[in-house]
Chain A
Amino acid sequence: MKRHLSACFSLLVFAFAAAPAFSQVAVRGKTVYTMGGAAIENGVVVIRDGKIAEVGPADQVAVPAGFRVLEGAVVTPGLVDAHSVVGLTGIYNQPHDQDQLERSAPIQPELRAIDAFNTQEALLEYIRGFGITTVHTGHAPGELISGQTCVVKTIGNTLADALLLEPAAVAATIGSDARKNEKKSPGTRGKMSAMLREQFIKAQEYAHKLETAADDKKPDRDLKLEVLARVLKGEVPLMVSADRAQDIASALRLREEFGFKLILDSAAEAYLLIEQIKATGVPVIVHASMVRAYGDRKNMSFETAAKLHEAGIMIALQSGYEDYVPKTRVALFEAAIAAANGLSFEEALATITIDAARIVGVADRVGSLEPGKDGDVAIYDGDPFEYATHCVGVIIDGQVVSTSPR
């Protein structure tokens, strides 16, 4: 009851605080990439009360009187970064702004991203300036199960303002990054899989007892197992970061045994397992195109996204996780490298708009310019992937959040 009350309260506050911020705004673009159909030459996007009202060619869609108008050479949906840790990790890289990885135990699916996401993080404003309006962020790769993730807008005073979806996924890692030294587990890859299997078997038993036991024999609440039970039910995907082909294969093996909804993440050597991945229908959030070529990612390729896409595998790109300089990457730039290495312009754009939104479960709200979706738009003065192009306008929920060229 109490929870319901506070939820209502925060919704009220949100509505009250945010309503006046909706500007009535329209965007004109020489080319409008809606990502919900063919690109529109001389297009217009009309945003009313924070939602997209109309999209079409200028000779068919009129800008309503009194609307603010922004213009640019290229207009795209607000960009969606399919995997980041921004907001849990901060620009300073000091203990006070590093909440992306809890090292006290290898399996902690109970950690919620919403309890660690800092809406005021400076890096959010930074990436927003390049047109990134939505990020899938949360606990980082580096522990066997590091915690939960969420999907947020890149602006918002409080979590409630920014939040789109939580939990978006439970984050897991199979590979060298999850390995422990000094007699701690998991110390080997074999142990990693054994620990994950044990945990999921426990969750299966927990879920079974919850469903079948008499009321007085129900198991005690267990935060770890509660969320893993949701994973097993297919309500929340398990996002497994794995780079070596053998680690990707381990993730697929676990999925086969437990039947959860899998998202493959990073997947540097996915090009070796194209047939196997394709057969499962599992989507892949490919590592940042410019990720450093070392460790498990030493065989990374600029062409992985193109190869997977060509095979018919659903892909998205990401900014990923950086623990030093730069503190984050920018999904726009990562897609640009993919566009220069085998993906067509629109295919590359899809990896940071509609396909990213689909994979992380928010395509009903963002990722394309279609009536009824959130009024999130990015405006560029040229090909968004060209280095010398600038992002000249960013709109989130109908609010113009940036017009200074970046």
Chain B
Amino acid sequence: MTIFGIRSAAVVLLLGSAAAAQDVPRAFTGAHIIPIAGDEIDRGTLVVRGGKILAVGPDDAVEIPAGAERIDAAGRVIMPGLVCTHNHAGGIGGADGSGPIQPEVRILDSINVLDPGFRRVVAGGLTTINLMPGSGHLCSGQTVYLKMRGGKTVDQLYIRDSAGMPTGGLKMANGTNSMHESPFPGTRGKSAALVREKFIKAQEYREKLQRPSVDPEKQPTRDLAMEALVEVLEGKRVVHHHTHRHDDIMTVIRLSKEFGFRVVLHHVSEGWKVADEIAAAGVPCSIILVDSPGGKLEAVNLVMETGGILERAGVKVAFHTDDWITDSRLFLRSAALGVRAGMSRAEALKALTLAGAEMLDLADRIGSLEAGKDADFIILSADPLSVYAKVLETWVDGGKVFDRNIPDDRLHAVGGYGAGDDVEPYLCCYDKEGPS
């Protein structure tokens, strides 16, 4: 108890000093800036203060506030922190084997913040991730949107809404991953029927809640699963839907129309077969690019061309790592391979940043370098689409969370002995002062 008391005091102290440090404006000058919102700037300046972006523009057009710390970033590339719309770092575990639909489970209750996976995440330049439970269920639980601020507990990483609640979506899946022995569905028809039944129950639950009733006894008792689904029905919680095959993709769209929920299609391996239909439905796609097709029947037609085909059809596209399917440290590679297979440079870079932010309803705060947005950015050694580019620094809310020059950060960026171990707990204050 006292130990925790001391530690929180120390944390408050640290946060306090960090906040004070952030009040001093910082100006990164002479960099090639890719703001995502607007054209690339060949020699540009980025000014941040208090965790927010103050200004961004060409060197000669940005006024640097008096007293600002100036950082020469000539020869470097600065772009927004990367947004990964689908990530599994942190040793997480969502729904269990007891049933196919478990919207009451929150992934935020399962996160090991000390997992080295998070160190790889920031080493890859990811500043915001949608941490998701797996795809072995029709619904495996609530996802959580995290800022990679660094922290000892998960609540330090939340992105909170205006009411102070952690933000997140709902993970759903169809196709073969979520088909198992009973009580799980054994066919696609059954999968959809189970989902429809559950949403109909949620509709009824919501109606009961809304019914003007003088008798509080007639209100339904609290049901955590129903509460989460009601948030989905009301558009407050977006469904992040794993789906591969073209017909499964269309099933997701059909169900989202029936119940009016907002959905982001994830993986979308055969999205290229129904690109026009996805565009017509106005549904965004978060896609993954991997080194080869196959590994499962539904991914046999997974091609690198998907991004370009969806882009040309007018579909909003983001990339995701699906870490550990692909390593967060290699996230930039997704955009580069997308370009190799026909995406435009602008859309590919947007797909690493702003498009993802839009899919998480966070585009007013993150995803581009614009005055007023959160100071989440990365500094690269070379063009982001080059294999030779290194993430040199990652900044979140105006604080540096990764620096390739720091040996321990570098260890997690390139790997090596000890890189796979959990981060050591922070015990300095206890060791030095003892409990009081």
Contact = CB atoms under 8 A, between A and B. Distances in A.
Interface of A: 90-94, 122-123, 126-127, 269, 271-272, 290, 292-294, 298-304, 322-330, 333, 336-337, 339-341, 385-390
Interface residues of B, number: 36
Nearest to A90: B294
B435 interface: no
B420 A126 contact: no
B387 interface: yes
B209 to A, nearest CB: 41
A385 B415 CA distance: 21
A92 B300 contact: yes
Contacts of A94: 297
B419 A298 contact: yes
A239 B418 CA distance: 26
Contacts of B299: 325
Contacts of A390: 340
Contacts of B171: none
Given A126-B292, A326-B290, A387-B336, A292 B324 contact: yes
15 contacts: A91-B294, A123-B292, A271-B416, A290-B327, A293-B419, A293-B420, A294-B420, A322-B295, A327-B295, A328-B291, A328-B292, A337-B387, A340-B387, A387-B385, A387-B387
B293 interface: yes
Given A301-B416, A386-B386, 7 more contacts: A272-B417, A299-B417, A303-B414, A303-B415, A325-B294, A340-B387, A340-B388
B328 to A, nearest CB: 10
A300 B292 CA distance: 22
Interface string B176-207: 00000000000000000000000000000000
A290 B330 contact: yes
B120 interface: yes
B325 interface: yes
B331 to A, nearest CB: 12
A294 B340 contact: no
Nearest to A295: B420
Nearest to B411: A301
A90 B116 CA distance: 32
Nearest to B334: A387
Contacts of B295: 91, 93, 322-327
Contact of A299 (B120, B294, B387, B419): B419
A272 B417 CA distance: 8
Contacts of A326: 290-295
A300 B411 CA distance: 10
Nearest to B337: A387
A323 B295 CA distance: 7
Nearest to A302: B414
Per CB-CB distance, the 9 closest pairs between chain A and chain B, nearest first, are: A298-B420, A91-B294, A387-B336, A301-B415, A325-B295, A327-B294, A327-B295, A326-B290, A326-B292
A317 B409 CA distance: 26
Given A93-B294, A93-B297, A292-B324, A387 B339 contact: yes
Nearest to B390: A340
A327 B293 CA distance: 7
A122 B294 contact: yes
A339 B324 CA distance: 23
B241 interface: no
B218 interface: no
Contacts of A333: 291
Contacts of B414: 301-303, 341
Nearest to A330: B291
B130 to A, nearest CB: 19
Contact of A388 (B120, B292, B336, B388): B336
Interface string B299-336: 11010000000000000000000001111001001001
A385 B387 contact: yes
Contacts of A123: 292, 294
Specify the main secondary structure of chain B where it touches its partner. loop
B417 A271 contact: yes
B432 interface: no
B419 A301 contact: yes
Contacts of B120: 293
Contacts of A303: 414-416
Nearest to A300: B415
B248 to A, nearest CB: 16
A31 B102 CA distance: 58
A127 B421 CA distance: 34
A91 B302 CA distance: 11
A337 B386 CA distance: 11
B301 to A, nearest CB: 10
B386 A387 contact: yes
A71 to B, nearest CB: 20
B291 A329 contact: yes
Contact of B292 (A301, A327, A337): A327
B222 interface: no
A301 B414 CA distance: 5
Contact of A92 (B294, B327, B415): B294
A126 B293 contact: yes
B296 interface: yes
A387 B383 CA distance: 12
A388 B420 CA distance: 31
Contacts of B415: 293, 299-304
A319 B326 CA distance: 15
B292 A324 contact: no
A329 B300 CA distance: 14
Contacts of A322: 295
A91 B294 CA distance: 5
Contacts of B327: 290, 292-293
A299 B416 contact: yes
A229 to B, nearest CB: 37
Interface in B100-152: 116, 120
A217 to B, nearest CB: 52
Nearest to B269: A325
B336 A294 contact: no
Contacts of B418: 299
A388 B339 contact: yes
Contacts of B116: 293, 298
Nearest to A341: B414
Given A93-B297, A271-B416, A293-B415, A330 B292 contact: yes
A388 B415 CA distance: 25
A9 to B, nearest CB: 34
Contact of B387 (A126, A294, A339): A339
A299 B292 contact: no
B28 to A, nearest CB: 24
Nearest to A334: B291
Contacts of A302: 414-415
Interface in B258-317: 290-297, 299-300, 302
Contacts of B294: 90-93, 122-123, 325-328
A324 B120 CA distance: 22
Contacts of B416: 271, 299, 301, 303
Most buried by B among A90, A93, A329: A93
Most buried by A among B295, B299, B326: B295
A390 B420 CA distance: 34
B117 to A, nearest CB: 9
A68 B7 CA distance: 74
Contacts of B302: 325
Contacts of B293: 91, 126, 326-327
B323 to A, nearest CB: 10
